[in-house]
Chain A
Amino acid sequence: MVKRLLAASALALGLSAFAQTQIEFWTYYLSPNFDNYIKSTIADFEKENPTIKVRWVDKQDTMERDLTAAVALGRAPDVVNLWQDSTFAAAQNKILTPITQLVNRNVLNQLYYPNVLDMFVTEGQVYGLPWYGWLDQGVMMYNPDLLQKAGVDVRTIRNTDDLLAASARIKQATGAYGWLPPVKDPNGASFLGRFFLEGLPIYDKDGKAAFNSPAHVALLQKYVDAMKNDVIPQELLRKEAFQLSNELYSQGKAAIVVGAPTTLNRVKEANPDLYAKTRIVPAPLGKAGIQTGGAMSLVIPSASKNKSAAIRFALFVTNRTNQVKFANVVPIVSTAAGSENDPGLKAKSNDPLEIGKGMNSASGRLINPGFKPPKNTDDVYKNFNDNIEAAFLGRKTAKQALDDAVAFWNANAK
């Protein structure tokens, strides 16, 4: 009996020694603010999976570079926190293992919102598990004092046209800007996003660029005029709109911020009085009535040596329980299916951040991934943005700018 016990325990020990796997998990800009959340999630996972140990490394700006270097060195991490563009780029350049090779697509469809899952699909394969997301339009946060001074009733702002009109009145009455729309953010092609949100098509039925119709030109002209009259600041050509509106809002130089409620954290730090005064309502949308947004993903490099442990961990981190927990730490949008009914996402108080969470975090199913990006986005987007800038600076007419952009796009987006 004792001998058998000894043999059994020796076998178990031996097996567990063999089965002990160490995986490496890279996140993007989550330390030190979310140390507790990540560490406790890892602890929970390790408790349920005693043979897997997770080593956590947080990366900042150097994420893409370090990932490539690690692959080149043969020391690739096992689970990496990327985002849409980088997932796309990494998949295109053969750095990732398709998730659908490790998990059945049907299972994935049940675990996550399909619109978000679709964001990480290339050539029929899913390359990333959706993690925490955000809505670009999110909520509208405003400074009630400035709106009152301009005589603007927030209930009259129902869509983006109203936003522009209100901004003109606010600027005239108070000298502060109203809404700062993204027109030329450093990453991506913001004005294409604007077309999309107003229901104007980007491609024609043959898949060629078609954003130079009279309707498109008119829309661009509307914003060009707004900038010329200083209803929206020229700084939008140089800085990211969300960042700029945050900066100006904290100084009292902008009355409205439209976007993810996580920005309230920054307002809280920079100007606590203003934070306490800030009101929140759902964001007014464009004519298409949709909300664009994005999400982070967890990917598995093809050079990873522990793919089964990796996928287990990735599924755990992105499951609904853990995403809801995350949303209660900071108001991210949960991308796990069924979140819209999860009681953990209801607002529990009147604190602006709680309200933001309540309005936002359960709306993962509303994230519209936007239009499909072309190949060769670097050059094509740069040319598009250059043309948009030329229109805003008055160097080209709106029509000329869009015609040139379409011509370049069709010649180069292969």
Chain B
Amino acid sequence: MSPQTQEAARLRARAALRKGLGTALSYALMLLILAFAIFPFLWTLAISITDKQASGISIYDFPRSLFPPAVTLGNFFEVITKLNLGKYFLNSVIITALTVVGTLVVSALAAYPLARLQFPGRALIFGAIVSTLVLPTEIAFIVNVLTLRDLGLLGTYAGVVLPIIATAFGIFLMRQAYLAIPGTLMEAARIDGATELQILWRVMIPLSVPSLTALGIFTLVGTWNAFFWPSVALLTNDDLLPMSVAILKLKGQFNYDVFNVAAGAMIMMIPVLVVFFMAQRFFMRGMEGAVKG
């Protein structure tokens, strides 16, 4: 082998080594962060599967409570039957699905003119929408529930969903997403004679799938875990309550069984994490082909 090829081989090997070290460091760092992120979750998981009849230790005994001597799924069954969770789970699914779809539609629509169209009042409207992030909403729930009553929507799914699908967060997020799409694409489409609706549907939305996914996920998580507003809006009809409200019954002076509370928490968390796991690859879509417009 010639000295140049040897040199080249050595350089390549060193580069590979550096890359390997870099990757190893990445993983080490990420594992450390992971430990930081999930330790309470692991504890909750451990408690939820602990067989409370068998263990003789207290759950507050760290770190022993992380390794239960006997495991069981009994806590989960107990929670599901005791609270009659099936009905509430269905309610949660319906309310969450309606809210996610509603939020995506309202935000995707509203953000488009705010990002890409010129019209009078644009700055004012955008300012007003963003201002709702800081405005005092402390007693809004009372006013809204009175409004719902006057509209005849109290105690219905619509009454829970409609007041929460138009959010500054959603509109702001989608606007930022649209702004990141090059204006040249829009111009090209307009020249081809596309209407605004077609531009939105064919150009903006496909290219903002990561943001749409993010918005969808956030709305999903937020709605799934929300208990304050649903319990107020459904004051007159507790058959429609979501699971997040039913789960609260596990606490309280007489009810406090930490194993059940942990099982309840897992029942709330796991569906969301599963959906997140399935959806997170949609964050990773690239801009292939778009820049070359």
B254 touches A247 (CB 8 A): no
B56 touches A273 (CB 8 A): yes
A33 touches B254 (CB 8 A): yes
A57-B251 contact in complex given A73-B145, A251-B58, A270-B58, C-beta closer than 8 Å = no
- Of A68, A69, A251, the contact of B60 (CB 8 Å cutoff): A251
Interface size of A as a range: 20 to 34
Q: Which residue of B lies closest to A31 (CB)?
A: B249
Stretch at the interface among B18-26, B173-181, B186-194, B231-239: B231-239
Stretch at the interface among A13-21, A109-117, A228-236, A261-269: A261-269
Set of chain A residues within 8 Å of B254, measured between Cβ atoms: 29-30, 33-34, 262, 265, 330
Set of chain A residues within 8 Å of B60, measured between Cβ atoms: 247, 250-251
Set of chain A residues within 8 Å of B118, measured between Cβ atoms: none
A105 vs B229: C-alpha distance when bound (angstroms) = 41
Set of chain A residues within 8 Å of B149, measured between Cβ atoms: 73-74
A29 touches B145 (CB 8 A): no
Set of chain A residues within 8 Å of B83, measured between Cβ atoms: 32
**B 139-176 binary contact with A (CB < 8 Å = 1; else 0):** 00110011001000010000000000000000000000
A70 vs B142: C-alpha distance when bound (angstroms) = 10
Q: Is A149 an interface residue (CB 8 A)?
A: no
Q: Is A272 an interface residue (CB 8 A)?
A: yes
Set of chain B residues within 8 Å of A32, measured between Cβ atoms: 82-83, 249, 255
A75 touches B142 (CB 8 A): no
Within 8 A of B (CB), among A21-72: 29-34, 57-58, 60-62, 65-66, 68-70, 72
- Of B52, B154, B238, the contact of A73 (CB 8 Å cutoff): B154
Stretch at the interface among B1-9, B256-264, B279-287: B256-264
A271 touches B145 (CB 8 A): no
A69-B58 contact in complex given A29-B252, A61-B248, A269-B52, C-beta closer than 8 Å = no
B258 touches A29 (CB 8 A): no
Report B264 CB to chain A, min CB distance, Å. 12
A66-B142 contact in complex given A269-B259, A272-B56, C-beta closer than 8 Å = no
**A 343-354 binary contact with B (CB < 8 Å = 1; else 0):** 000000000000
A251 touches B235 (CB 8 A): no
Q: Is A201 an interface residue (CB 8 A)?
A: no
Set of chain B residues within 8 Å of A70, measured between Cβ atoms: 235
**B 47-91 binary contact with A (CB < 8 Å = 1; else 0):** 000001100111111000000000000000000001100000000
Report B211 CB to chain A, min CB distance, Å. 34
B232 touches A252 (CB 8 A): no
Q: Is B195 an interface residue (CB 8 A)?
A: no
B235 touches A66 (CB 8 A): yes
Q: Which residue of A lies closest to B84 (CB)?
A: A32
A73 touches B146 (CB 8 A): yes
Q: Is B184 an interface residue (CB 8 A)?
A: no
Set of chain B residues within 8 Å of A68, measured between Cβ atoms: 142
Interface size of B as a range: 20 to 34
B253 touches A262 (CB 8 A): yes
- Of A33, A60, A65, A271, the contact of B232 (CB 8 Å cutoff): A65
Q: Which residue of B lies closest to A61 (CB)?
A: B248
A74 vs B149: C-alpha distance when bound (angstroms) = 10
Report A198 CB to chain B, min CB distance, Å. 27
Set of chain A residues within 8 Å of B238, measured between Cβ atoms: 57
A75-B235 contact in complex given A60-B249, A61-B248, A266-B256, C-beta closer than 8 Å = yes
Report B256 CB to chain A, min CB distance, Å. 6
A72-B251 contact in complex given A269-B257, A270-B59, C-beta closer than 8 Å = no
- Of B82, B235, B251, the contact of A69 (CB 8 Å cutoff): B235
Set of chain B residues within 8 Å of A30, measured between Cβ atoms: 254
A29-B57 contact in complex given A58-B249, A73-B145, C-beta closer than 8 Å = no
Set of chain B residues within 8 Å of A251, measured between Cβ atoms: 58, 60-61
Set of chain B residues within 8 Å of A74, measured between Cβ atoms: 149
B56 touches A271 (CB 8 A): yes
A72 vs B52: C-alpha distance when bound (angstroms) = 44
Report A295 CB to chain B, min CB distance, Å. 14
A73 touches B57 (CB 8 A): no
- CB<8 Å pairs between A and B, sample of 9: A29-B249, A29-B251, A60-B251, A69-B145, A73-B146, A73-B149, A73-B236, A75-B236, A271-B56
Given A30-B254, A270-B258, 5 more contacts at CB 8 Å? A60-B251, A61-B248, A72-B146, A73-B146, A74-B149
Interface residues of A (CB under 8 A from B): 29-34, 57-58, 60-62, 65-66, 68-70, 72-75, 247, 250-252, 262, 265-266, 269-273, 330
CB-based closest 5 A-B pairs: A29-B252, A251-B58, A273-B56, A250-B58, A32-B82
Interface residues of B (CB under 8 A from A): 52-53, 56-61, 82-83, 141-142, 145-146, 149, 154, 228, 231-232, 235-236, 238, 248-249, 251-259
